[in-house]
Amino acid sequence: MSYQKLVDHFVSSDGKNAVTYYTYIPQSIEPKAILQISHGMCEYIERYEDFAAFLCQNGFIVCGNDHLGHGNSIASEDDLGYFGKENGYEFLITDLYKTMTIIRKGYPSLPYFMLGHSMGSFVARMFLTLYGKELTGAIICGTSGGNPFAGIGIRMAKSAIRKKGEQFRSNKLNSMAFSGYNKRIDKPNSEFDWLTTDSQIVSDYEKNLKNNFVFTAAGFKDLFTLVKLVSAKEWADKVPKNLPLFIISGEEDPVGDYGKGVRKVCRRLIEAEVQDIALHLYPGGRHEIINETNRREVYRDIARWLDSKI
Per-residue confidence of the chain (310 residues) as pLDDT tens digits? 689 999 999 999 999 999 999 999 999 899 999 999 999 999 999 999 999 999 999 999 999 999 999 999 999 999 999 999 999 999 999 999 999 999 999 999 999 999 999 999 999 999 999 999 999 999 999 999 988 889 999 999 999 999 999 999 999 999 999 989 999 999 999 999 999 999 999 999 999 999 999 999 999 999 999 999 999 999 999 999 999 999 999 999 999 999 999 999 999 999 999 999 999 999 999 999 999 999 999 999 999 999 999 9
Range of the domain at 56: 3-145+233-309
**Residue 287: CA atoms inside 13 Å, Cβ hemisphere, count?**
24
Does some domain include residue 182? no
Does some domain include residue 208? no
* DSSP secondary structure of 200-212: HHHHHHHH-TTTS
Does some domain include residue 304? yes
Report the alpha-carbon distance of residue 310 to residue 304 in Å, rounded: 10
Residue 24 in contact with residue 53, Cβ under 8 Å? yes
Give the CATH number for residue 245.
3.40.50.1820
For residue 146, the model assigns a pLDDT of: 85
For residue 1, the model assigns a pLDDT of: 65
For residue 29, the model assigns a pLDDT of: 94
Question: Residue 90 CB: number of other CB atoms within 10 A?
Answer: 18
Residue 61 in contact with residue 107, Cβ under 8 Å? yes
Does some domain include residue 200? no
Does some domain include residue 84? yes
Report the alpha-carbon distance of residue 298 to residue 289 in Å, rounded: 7
Its pTM surpasses 0.75: yes
Does some domain include residue 133? yes
The torsion defined by the Cα of 29, 35, 39 and 43, in degrees rounded to 10, comes to: 10
Does some domain include residue 191? no
DSSP secondary structure code for residue 122 in this structure: H
Domain count, the chain: 1
Alpha helix positions (H), the chain: 49-57, 89-106, 119-131, 150-164, 171-178, 199-207, 217-231, 233-237, 260-271, 295-309
Does some domain include residue 48? yes
